[in-house]
Structure 1
């Protein structure tokens, strides 16, 4: 079976507790997978189809954002 998707394999086939903590959020029109930490989110992965979103340093993996 071939699965064509922009979603990470860990989210489709969760094998650890970390996959359960991921949330799909949208920040300024950019879809992201993020982990909630207190009153902000830590960006785990950008899942946009727009290449310009990957160049935005504000949503680079590891950055913290507020919604």
Structure 2
């Protein structure tokens, strides 16, 4: 491969057909998933968060707030 030469796209068919695997779509067994929850009000200041119910949801490992 040299500068100015075309590059062969080995995954072109997968991209066009929509079957290519992206990192975002890869699932790792046992991996945890984080979810960020923000205020629905612009410029609002969150004074406290009621997280007790969230902690009781099956599969939740931790609830973190600042």
TM-score by length of 2: 0.23
Indicate the structure whose relative CO is greater, using CA pairs within 8 Å and at least 6 residues apart: 1
Q: Where is the strand percentage greater, Structure 1 or Structure 2?
A: 1
Larger radius of gyration: 2
